[in-house]
Amino acid sequence: MRIAVLGTGVVGRTLAAKPDGLGHEVAIGTRDPAATNARTEPGGFGTPPFPQWQAGHPQVRLMSFAEAAGFAGLVMNATSGSAAMAALVAAGEAALAGKVLIDVSNPLDFSRGMPPTLDPVNTDSLGEQIQRAFPAVRVVKALNTMNCRVMVEPGRVPGEHNVFLCGNDETAKQAAADLIGSFGWPAGSLIDLGDISAARGTEMLMPLWLRLMGAVGHADFNFHVPHS
Amino acid sequence: MRIAVLGTGVVGRTLAAKPDGLGHEVAIGTRDPAATNARTEPGGFGTPPFPQWQAGHPQVRLMSFAEAAGFAGLVMNATSGSAAMAALVAAGEAALAGKVLIDVSNPLDFSRGMPPTLDPVNTDSLGEQIQRAFPAVRVVKALNTMNCRVMVEPGRVPGEHNVFLCGNDETAKQAAADLIGSFGWPAGSLIDLGDISAARGTEMLMPLWLRLMGAVGHADFNFHVPHS
């Protein structure tokens, strides 16, 4: 399958490397590929410059958002929440139409300092905003409730734990579940929360996730929902 | 120990019955005990009228909020989020001063219909509002992330699962942990998230909890946080 991952940060790189390693054709989308390729300084969180990362993943192609969206049959949005809408607009409605878009982003607002707040919240979500802005795109919100390394390597966390997914298109959710399953998630670990408005709930998990990272001391944890 | 539970709804009754059964002296606080005792109609969710419930728990005493707060050494707030502040004001700063207050309420706002929204959110929480309004009270936010039957009978949910607690007073958190432990929670199941501002995170879990109740089909579930 041809997969495009939008975003060149740690989340995008992690989500690109995994399907690349599984034999898929993978492209990473960025605003300005020439600028991304010219980077020599580490990123905001000490991330190595992109060319250094790509040297270890020579088969992953770097493209503009629009080229990546056109190239792929399935798209994963791994941009930051504040950049998501602009990235998808740049990708283009026509190139995305009919495709499954797995949205792993969270609408974290760092403009008021730490900890970040969520915007939108309560009566809307980034997942819904994306679905409304791109009605022909089959948006599936998933994987946004954990660290990106756990997304692609669930065994980093011991025992059972869950992926929440939601979206309005059942076949799109199945396609997302199949891809996520190929990352190593057992079938029973996926919980379908229903339509895309459930993204409000999974995105609003972020403040607890951030406090748990402080309590646990690292990011190799996840949520499990045992029930009778 | 003398324990007061503020609120006569299902949550208050459940949280009163448990320590009553464990041999504590328990009072339930309400705005107007005469009115509560005069009820003959079921409550909003089909709850039996209070006198019918109390007939099965004759040792649990019904008092005004102020009497209950004065009576008890430890207070649990089990009112609805919208009623919490008025109940605590009625209980009275002097009666509550120095006491541990376990706040299990969530600031759910049903005024805009279903699903409820959360207010405050993001930059404040009901737990923090209570702590600010009553600086001499040792507020511990806990148990607000699960159904009340699970609070007092963790075995309703199979396997390991967690109670999140937070608050500014370490000895108050220990007192809360001791009481919660006596409900049947193993010591390792409590996760201390730090100061009371972590209540933002646990309260913001509600939208996901509500969607999970729909996905699971009942309320006998909880969150577990496995980590390496």
Around Cβ A122, how many Cβ atoms within 10 Å? Answer: 19
Residue B6: pLDDT above 90? yes
pLDDT of residue A215: 97
Give B142 to chain A, closest Cα distance, Å: 13
DSSP E strands in chain A: the ranges are 2-6, 25-30, 61-64, 74-77, 100-103, 108-109, 117-118, 138-142, 163-167, 190-192
A204 backbone dihedrals φ, ψ, rounded to 5°: -75, 0
CA angle A141, A204, B152 (to 5 degrees): 115
Q: What's the CA gap between A208 and A6, in Å, rounded?
A: 26
A191 and B117 in contact by Cβ < 8 A? no
A192 and B215 in contact by Cβ < 8 A? yes
- List residues bridging with B64 in a β-sheet: B30
pLDDT of residue B46: 85
User: Do A11 and A34 form a contact (C-beta atoms < 8 A)?
Assistant: no
The full set of domain ranges for chain B reads 2-216
Q: Which helix (H) or strand (E) is A34 found in, with range?
A: helix A33-37
User: What was the ipTM of the complex prediction?
Assistant: 0.95
Separation of CA A17 from chain center: 13
pLDDT of residue B137: 98
Query: What confidence tens digit (pLDDT) does each residue in B7-63 have?
Result: 999 999 999 999 999 999 999 999 999 999 999 999 877 899 999 999 999 999 999
The total number of residues written for chain B in this structure: 228
Q: What's the CA gap between B54 and A32, in Å, rounded?
A: 69
- Compute and round to an integer the Cα radius of gyration of chain A: 16
Q: What's the CA gap between A109 and A200, in Å, rounded?
A: 15
**Mean pLDDT, chain B, whole residue set:** 97
Q: What's the CA gap between A198 and B86, in Å, rounded?
A: 32
Q: What's the CA gap between B9 and B165, in Å, rounded?
A: 22
All residues of chain B having their beta carbon less than 8 Å from the beta carbon of residue A198 are 208, 211
All residues of chain B having their beta carbon less than 8 Å from the beta carbon of residue A209 are 201
3-state secondary structure B72-125: CCEEEECCCHHHHHHHHHHHCHHHHCCCEEEECCCCEECCCCCCCEECCCCCCC
Query: What confidence tens digit (pLDDT) does each residue in B75-120 have?
Result: 999 999 999 999 999 999 999 999 999 999 999 999 988 999 999 9
CA separation (Å) from B135 to A14, A209, B123, B130?
Answer: 46, 27, 19, 8
B228 and A218 in contact by Cβ < 8 A? yes
pLDDT of residue A192: 98
pLDDT of residue B149: 98
All residues of chain A having their beta carbon less than 8 Å from the beta carbon of residue B199 are none
Q: What's the CA gap between B161 and B68, in Å, rounded?
A: 32
B212 and A202 in contact by Cβ < 8 A? no
Superfamily of domain A2-216: NAD(P)-binding Rossmann-like Domain (3.40.50.720)
A193 and B212 in contact by Cβ < 8 A? yes
pLDDT of residue A46: 85
Percent of chain B with pLDDT over 70: 100
Q: What's the CA gap between B180 and B163, in Å, rounded?
A: 9
Residue segments in chain A with a per-residue pLDDT below the cut of 70: none
Q: What is the dihedral of CA A108, B122, B174, B154, to 10 degrees?
A: -80
pTM score, whole prediction: 0.96
